[in-house]
Structure 1
């Protein structure tokens, strides 16, 4: 008998601030289509182009459907099918051998945001904490941004994005919303209909810049200097709100004397490449606005000065008292709200001893240089480090070690999976149960299983529990089902029981914020701390980025078709990567439209097709997207062969954008 077609409410699981509400249409064991949930207060029924045909990912012919064991060289992608029982037994035996021979820290998990569900994103932490494995910091995306916000604002909640509708001056700063936060454009549209001006500040002309009233293009890594120049103008032209500062801000006088006074527009123009007149124009627009709203992206935090850059920008709304007005303020992230958090499956809850910490950005050096003990077993899930990790040459050298036992839990045969000894088939979000919050708004909800797992796929949580049982670990947490874990997470959340019930019933629920939430500052002083005595540098400051001994800044932006290396399966296995360059720079380097060029620096080189584009800033070259190897013109590398594993100034964040390269012709 044919099963009836029905729909289920769900949430987009991908690493995007929007966490869209979904309506999933199910027919039997298949997803027929995915649509936006119109009643979602932020995403409002629309989907980005990546999720409009999620069913193509779910039922893609390339899905891994059974466990596999390597039979060829690492990286060759040669495997044979095995049973789950065989796979689990081998993993348990090899993990135990590593513990007995080298010590528990010879095992290391590596995961990130292949799914953003609270349960499945952190699924491995209980197991590896109990084992005493080497710990990873999960800080590859934007810890410097978080550090910069916390330095001034502590645990203060970021603005609701919908508040933007009442702003008269909207600034999208380092945010290509068309590709990475498309639903905020709903709120931008409403604000502009009411008369607001939209400013876009970035390092190159993005799809979002095309929508703006005003665009400012900065030299890469100089956003902090620009913010201090704006602060200088605000102070010198009388736009400072002294009443707000006196009541809600700590350290303004010292901040002005120590930092702001040293950044007049003439100096900032030399640093940023933006004219003095343009700096003053923006500062006046910001200062004259009643309720300016900054939506801050993450890209500017991925330079060597990233944390300080964020501190400088976060200072601006405090100077003008933007938080006093409906529609005014700044949104960096909402992830710090912890209305519903992941503490129930956190490493800290289950750890039996302190173990060494490996920053995610240092995966390559950890695999190739670590001693006492060396890493002998690697478990990868919800990540594709052979493509997405910095310093690709070193990462792949580590993955290619024959003495490294590697397990990869994946949906597709990624470049990372090709280096595995055991590949385990993973579910998509509609094949398991999870709960989702967001780092871009305050709506929380569950996404319940809509169809049976494809093939022999298992979820992150199911797989981790299976490994724990194969290793005879008896902690009762591994006897809990996904639904039991979700209820445990929700019931321990500091929210009313009525709200818990609604979330568990499958409703996407807006968390309530008080009328005065923008004036409640979660810092030791209870104020916005322009002066933070606990910091090595008490005041926000501009510092130069790392840079390289090379000629051009490489800006690797976002492509609306993919997200990190997800959704590449929906693109053809033909080269997608190109690099764009200003005509005058191309002429000077002797390279031509559609010619292959070689980008190179001290870490590696990449063969790529050139596009001549007069919108690209001089002295920079632009590429977009983190593509699979099959979609590169280079047979051996992708863009991260050029990036470095060096950290940001604070927070041990990644410096993916702090890259310079040389350019030359190639065959």
Structure 2
């Protein structure tokens, strides 16, 4: 048995350090690396099943060509040579007729390594394909943060143990960031109160000192109410504001309508709770706010994050040990990706297509139309909103779809060509985190099974098939990781540690990285942060429930759904409903019900839960259509409307009705 150091490659802020025990070419055990300063030797329940996932007998081991109707799962094995010839030939025909912008890459966060995740950029830039706007997760949160703080990194989560008040807003770290939760509990044992603000009682709420339940989509109003109390009761840090903040006076002028009484009407949070929360925050020495993505996935999600990110500036918490806010670590600026993404390979401007609206793109009247889709480390048939429309698009006989995958996912079933993909342990990469400040290099510790190839290797093959002569397409993975590391600010000792697979902490820029060098409450393009009531009166009558689509304990997005054991442990697709709502609508515990709205419907199993407020329902996880009764999952009732900032998804901004079958 040999033990190797590695990193969890999945879309999680913790980017855990791993120790993999390998014997005879197989992963026999996965555990946390106790020498990782942030993740400190423990991992989530999902990653303990990483070995069975890697060695699953259901892995795709050779290129496949469709020989039946789209969606049927009927494929014939072919060689890589035939696959490359087929793709290059079809793309050549499409480019000649429609131009290269008729080809659309679709990808997101199936792997988070900086090389493999971005491996397609130089190829598609050189090809001249349409540009994918990767907006499905957090662009509204990022845009809201940037309006106030620019490129400033978030507060170091390791300092949370020094906070004297912790607020977790719109996040469930007990499920999605367990190491942050461990640090918060460490602070709590020292007497630091932990307050959770969310739309229902999450697993994190069960570990908190106080839970503030806010009406879905009204977080911006709550933040304005807190700001109003801070200003009215003179709980702001005027010295910090004078030295480090712009736009304070302008912000104050829009506060009068947001009295505690009015905000209570808008949010469902009692006025006394708003006042007490503002007072506790304003009187704390070093309060820390962890800003989640959940409440940014509404139509005013960017505004909400912008206002929450302003709170620490008002009380002078930014810069205090233990204080401030973390939306994302911001450490992406430490590694310059242009060496991989190569925007200089573009021949000229190309059209940009928002991934949230893939269904519209594939079924609408774009000119030129999208005639080919290349999917890698993504599964849009499962995860994209407007699922019914997406599936109609994927069934188009004139759409040439290539999927680079490890399993026959919902999306792969609609492919014309499938290319076998590797796992992270079978390729080289470099990882950073969006939840902490550590960088770590990984090596290939297993040989790929069958004919599986990594993203980087596959795009190099495609480049050769299309006759691209640029040197970048002839470089190895190890060479490309070395190129990435050349421009990172590291000491010789840190470079040696990285080469050995150990984590190294990145260094943030001092001060506030904004045009003014200060926190900008009212930046030049930000406008007045006014909250607007959602315009869903008619929908509310027909569809009385707010829908929340939340993380699941034994899956990460659509990952790990391949394992029957984990599907069984989770119990299948379900919907959590308040017991009073169940009684009023005749919903029986454990029974299948139809969840529906104007977009579509899906079948879910009822679970009565007092954690869910009346008129709210929660659908945990995103299940493959293959594993869902009726062949549709919760995204069949989620629309492709965009957020106010960043063009992000509005997964938490929809209403549904429920009826028994």
**Bin for the TM-score computed over the shorter chain:** over 0.9
Gap runs ≥5 in structure 2: none
Find 1:385's aligned residue among 368, 371, 380.
380
Matched ranges for 1:445-460 at <5 A:
445-460=440-455
The superposition leaves residues 418-439 of structure 1 with CA deviations (integer Å, 9 ceiling, x where unpaired) of 0000111110000111000110
CA distance in 1, matches of 2:564, 2:164: 40
**Structure 1 range deviating more: 549-558 or 357-366:** 549-558
Q: Check whether the contact 2:331–2:437 (CA below 8 A) recurs between aligned residues.
A: no
| 1:562 paired to 2:552 | no
How far apart are the structure 2 equivalents of 1:74 and 1:176? Answer: 38
Q: Is the 8 A contact 2:410 2:626 kept in 1?
A: no
Deviation larger for 484-493 or 444-453: 484-493
1:464 aligns with 459
Write the mapping of 1:77-156 to structure 2, written as runs, cut at 5 A.
Answer: 77-156=73-152
What per-residue deviation string (whole Å, max 9, x for no partner) do you get for residues 164-211 of structure 1? 010010111111001111110221122112210011111111111101
Tell me which residue corresponds to 2:415.
420
| Contact preservation (8 Å) 1:303, 1:546 | no
Match of 2:209 in 1: 213
Residue 162 of structure 2 is aligned to residue 171 of structure 1: no
How far off is 1:540 after superposition? Answer: 2.9
Name the SS for the 1:130 alignment partner.
helix
TM-score normalised by structure 2 residue count: 0.97
Give the Cα separation in 2 of the matches to 1:486 and 1:513. 21
Query: Please, which runs of 5 or more residues in structure 1 have no aligned partner?
Result: none
Q: C-alpha offsets along residues 577-608 of structure 1, whole Å, 9 cap, x if unaligned?
A: 11111122222223222222111111101121
Alpha-carbon displacement from aligned partner over 1:243-279 (angstroms, at most 9, x marks no partner): 1111111011110112x22211101111111111111
Q: Is the 8 A contact 1:113 1:121 kept in 2?
A: yes
Cα distance in structure 2, aligned partners of 1:70 and 1:335:
42
Choose which of 513, 531, 537 in structure 2 pairs with 1:542: 531
1:551 aligns with 2:547: no
What is the aligned partner in structure 2 of residue 352 from structure 1?
Answer: 347
**Count of residues in correspondence between the two structures:** 654
Q: Counterparts in 2 of 1:309-458, with a 5 A limit? A: 309-346=304-341, 348-458=343-453
Helix, strand or coil at the partner of 1:622: strand
Label 1:455 to 1:35 Cα distance change in 2 as closer, same or farther (>3 A): same
Separation in 2, partners of 1:65, 1:543: 52
Instruction: Write the mapping of 1:523-542 to structure 2, written as runs, cut at 5 A.
Output: 523-535=514-526, 537=527, 539-542=528-531
Which region of structure 1 is more displaced relative to structure 2, 588-597 or 82-91?
588-597
Answer yes or no: is 1:279 the counterpart of 2:279: no
1:481 to 2:476 alignment = yes
Residue of structure 1 in register with 2:8 after alignment: 12
Matches of 2:491 and 2:93, distance apart in 1 = 47
Moved more, 366-375 or 102-111: 366-375
The TM-score, its normalising length taken from structure 1, stands at 0.96
Shift of 1:347: 5.3
1:609 counterpart (597, 605, 612):
605
Alpha-carbon distance, 1:541 to partner: 3.0
| CA deviation vs aligned residue, 1:298-348 (integer Å, no higher than 9, x gap) | 011100001001011011111111124210100010135421242212252
Tell me, in whole angstroms, the C-alpha distance in 2 between the residues paired with 1:32 and 1:585: 46
Asked if structure 1 preserves the Cα contact closer than 8 Å seen for 2:331 and 2:508, the reply is no
Q: How does 1:611-650 map to 2 (within 5 A)?
A: 611-633=607-629, 635-650=630-645
- Once structures 1 and 2 are overlaid, which stretch shifts more, 550-559 or 478-487? 550-559
Separation of aligned partners in 1, 2:117 and 2:531: 35
